[in-house]
Structure 1
Amino acid sequence: MPHGRRALAAGALDTLGLLDRFLWLRAKLRLPVLSVFTYHRIAELSDVDELDPGVAEVSAREFEEQLEVIKAHCTVVSLRDVRRFAKGRKLPPNPVMVAFDDGYRDNHDVALPLLQRAGVTATFFVATEYPGKGRLFWWDRVALLMHRCRRARVELAYPATLVLEPQRDPVAAATLVCQTIKRTSGVDIGRLWDEIERATGVSIDLCEERAIAARTIMDWHQIAALRRAGMDVQSHSHSHRVLQTLSPEEATRDLARSRRVLSDALNEVVHAVAYPVGYSLCGAFHRAVREAGFEIGFTNNSGLCTLSSFDPLNFPRIAMDRGQIGALFKLKLLIGQRPGR
């Protein structure tokens, strides 16, 4: 359903009090569904500047309102609750888990105080290659280079032949490059940066990148502060590469490294991983997660989790979008879909 029609339908149902009633009824009947909401950044789009705007799903005000709706209609569950459920324990009525991917600094600076005020526990999935390294997330680096390009037409020869128009639409150009990286096996990241910089005529100074990364990505002190505050911190892989673009052996090494780095940093066992980009795993990649030592794995943009039939290494999650407040968010709690899906 298009976003506009969905908003109208949600508003009409909410005016009649039906959304509240349906949520109450789902809890009363203990319908076997789990909602896991995935966030990345809590930020105004104006604060994102030259970086990827697609991961700034909510403002602080919107997030606070969503937490209020969750608290009013659902039972917040932790990663520990979900792990126990995977081993046979029951979940409470209308269970909801809140999750953050990547490791953006606003998770600590903005989301954590709001979570604490609301009394909500969240799980933060961190890509362990980035904290404290002075390097931007690769998708943010692509976005920055495209925003700074002053060439009307850019032709990339690697990792695929692409024709871009970054001066006209830098977001569309960055999106196309990122989509190509996500579906291309064996991308050499160093070669990729060389090619983008050659084609765009743009590069970023190491000192500047270090400064932007420090403002954008959590360091290990901030990650540890999340854990001390009672939040869960788990793996989002090491390099944040789509696992299916690696060999199963490379995927195992990347996941195991992430688990080891997190375990050493937090001085505790790490049990769960959220897959970068969030595609479901099967076959050799399913085994790779097990071999890396994880007992729980999360996909993304995959909807509600039906508790009567689930794969502990492919727990579905619901991707968030801007503007999902009020009646629209209540509808999302009920059906779990993104607009247009």
Structure 2
Amino acid sequence: MVHALPGRRFVLTAMGVIKELAYRLFVAAGVTSAAAWLNRRKAVILAYHDVYTSGPDPVANYDGLRLRLALFERQMRYMATHYEVVPLDEIRDLPAGSRHRRSLAAITFDDGYANFYRHAYPILRRLGLPATVFVVTDFLVHGRPFWWDRLRAMIAATQRPSVRIDVDGIQQFPLATAQDKQTTLTDLSPRLLTLPPSRREALLAGLAVDLDVDDQTPAICGSLSADELREMARDGISVGSHGRSHDSFLHLSRDALLAELTESKRVLESVVGGPVTWLCYPHGEFSADAVEAAIRAGYRSAVTVIEGLHDPAADPYAVRRIGVNDHMTFAQFVVAASGLREMLKDLLRVRRQRRGEMRGQPTARIRGLG
């Protein structure tokens, strides 16, 4: 079995190359333009987190959530040329089923990192593109680093070959190579997400000792300031809430949910001097209780991390977006934004269902992509 692994890796790499060539062909042949035109009743909402000019450490950016600035600028130039980029409010107010000459798009950034103001905002302003930044108010007001940035920084900096951590049982995590560290972060991060904040904080404090590193995040992980947010709000950048603490809404009581949403809304409105009506669910996790709390707190819409184009007829508290990361090629970005990727997945799903029906298999047991 061990001898089969290199061959499997080769097959996966070859499939990736073939897919990339197909995507480039779709772009060059105008297939993506046709897909965007067919999807013009919907809107593409792009979801970013951060951009960078130098750094970050490849280990710390293992999931590509920090995007190279040059790639971001190329994407924005493409959007400015091929789409009508509008504020989120305009997309929310679209009549269901309405068609547009050009496909509509909106740009969003989650978390409220300072690099948005330093690097992304100047590009957006130069191109005349509106955007929305979803801000975590504890991050804004107190500058408290996010726990995942602390974890990434510690794992990237350590010289230890491995570490024993008790999350849901004691386990040894490898750290000898960059690949080991990325694998450990991929495995460990979702586990820490489910922990109560107090236990997670204790684990991180102990981890710094075990790894023999400082519990400090690099400057790239810093927060926007209130003055920067206020300046941008006067210049085409709208502001939405990403919660007060960025704790998952699935692990908060109803009272805590309402307090989280009400307080973050109050703080942001006091900073920008206007209404804050958009919410972005922390970690993309939400429930019926979270939606109810959002409505009670006065939010009119909420975005998710559910992949797909936004349909104006859909639930305004479960708005879909297209996630963008540093691992995407430009062709992959164009295909995703056009809705072609969704269309191809739907076709594949239908094909698999039909095969199941022809073989007499119950279609509910056939898994599609998505």
Larger radius of gyration between Structure 1 and Structure 2: 2
Structure-2 residue corresponding to 1:335: 339
2:316 maps to which of 305, 312, 315: 312
TM-score scaled to structure 2, two decimals?
A: 0.79
Helix, strand or coil: the match of 2:129?
Answer: coil
Gaps of 5+ in 2: 1-11, 346-368
For each residue in 1:156-180, what CA deviation from the matched residue of structure 2 results, as whole angstroms up to 9, or x when unmatched? 2246544312343223223322211
- C-alpha distance in 2 between matches for 1:90 and 1:163: 55
SS in structure 1 of the partner of residue 140 of structure 2: coil
Check whether the contact 2:138–2:144 (CA below 8 A) recurs between aligned residues. Answer: no
Give the corresponding residue for 1:109. Answer: 118
Name the aligned partner's letter for residue 237 of structure 2: M
- SS of equivalent residue, structure 2 residue 133: strand
Secondary structure at 1:306 match in 2: coil
TM-superposed deviation, 1:195: 3.3
Which position in structure 1 is the counterpart of 2:270? 264
Question: Larger deviation: 172-181 or 320-329?
Answer: 320-329
Who is 1:297 aligned against?
302
In the alignment, structure 1 residue 11 sits paired with structure 2 residue 24: yes
Question: Mapping of 1:41-190 within 5 angstroms?
Answer: 41-44=50-53, 46-48=55-57, 51-85=60-94, 92=100, 93-131=102-140, 133-158=142-167, 161-168=170-177, 169-184=180-195, 188-190=199-201
> Which residue of the partner structure matches residue 231 of structure 2?
225
Q: Which moved more, 1:186-195 or 1:165-174?
A: 186-195
Say yes or no: does 1:284 pair with 2:289.
Answer: yes
Q: Offset of 1:300 from its aligned partner?
A: 1.0
Unaligned regions of 5+ residues in structure 1, if any?
Answer: none
The aligned residue for residue 236 of structure 1 is 242
User: Aligned pair in 2 of structure 1 residues 104, 53: CA closer, same or farther (>3 Å)?
Assistant: farther
Change in CA separation of 1:31 and 1:214 when aligned onto 2, cut-off 3 Å:
closer
**What amino acid maps onto 1:257 in structure 2?**
E
Q: Contact 1:50/1:147 (CA < 8 Å) preserved in 2?
A: yes
Supply the distance in 2 between the matched residues of 1:107 and 1:267 (Cα, whole angstroms). 20
Task: Report the alpha carbon displacement of residue 34 of structure 1 after superposing the two structures with TM.
Answer: 1.6
Letter in 1 for 2:312: L
- The verdict on how the C-alpha distance between 1:303 and 1:17 changes in structure 2, with shifts beyond 3 A counting, is closer
> 1:156 & 1:42 partners in 2: Cα distance?
31
Match of 1:203 among 197, 203, 214: 214
Note the C-alpha offset of 1:316: 0.7
Divergent runs of 4+, >6 A: none
**Greater alpha carbon shift after TM alignment, 2-11 vs 223-232:** 2-11
Query: How far did residue 215 of structure 1 move?
Result: 6.5
- Measure the CA separation in 2 of the matches of 1:265 and 1:115: 21
Deviations 1:252-286 (A, max 9, x none): 2212221111111222221011111213x332222
SS of 2:302's equivalent in the other structure is strand
* Higher deviation after alignment, 221-230 or 176-185: 176-185
Q: Please, what is the CA RMSD of the aligned residues? A: 2.9
Q: Distance in 2 between matches of 1:37 and 1:226?
A: 19
Q: How far did residue 229 of structure 1 move?
A: 1.9
Residue 274 of structure 1: aligned partner: 280
Greater mean alpha carbon deviation, residues 299-308 or residues 186-195: 186-195
Aligned residue pairs total 329
Instruction: Tell me the SS of whatever aligns to 2:93.
Output: helix
Look up the equivalent residue of 1:271 and give its one-letter code.
Answer: T
Query: Using a 3 Å threshold, how does the CA distance of structure 1 residues 64 and 104 change in structure 2: closer, same or farther?
Result: same
Name the CA shift for 1:142/1:63 in 2 (closer, same or farther; >3 Å): same
Identify if the C-alpha distance between structure 1 residues 152 and 313 changes in structure 2 by more than 3 Å, giving closer, same or farther: same
Distance in 2 between residues matched to 1:236 and 1:63, nearest whole Å:
22
Equivalent residue in structure 2 for 1:193, among 197, 204, 218: 204
| Whole-Å separation in 2 of the counterparts to 1:129 and 1:89 | 39
Distance 1:215-1:176 versus aligned 2 partners, 3 A rule: closer
CA distance in 1, matches of 2:114, 2:44: 25
TM-score by length of 1: 0.85
1:305 aligns to what SS in structure 2? coil
Question: Residues 81, 161 of structure 1: CA spacing in aligned structure 2 closer, same or farther, 3 A cutoff?
Answer: farther
Percent identical residues: 22
Change (3 A) 1:125 1:320: same
CA distance in 2, matches of 1:134, 1:175: 25
| Residue 296 of structure 1, CA deviation | 0.7
Q: For 2:45, what is the secondary structure of its paired residue?
A: strand
Match for 1:178: what amino acid? S
3-state DSSP of counterpart to 1:54: coil
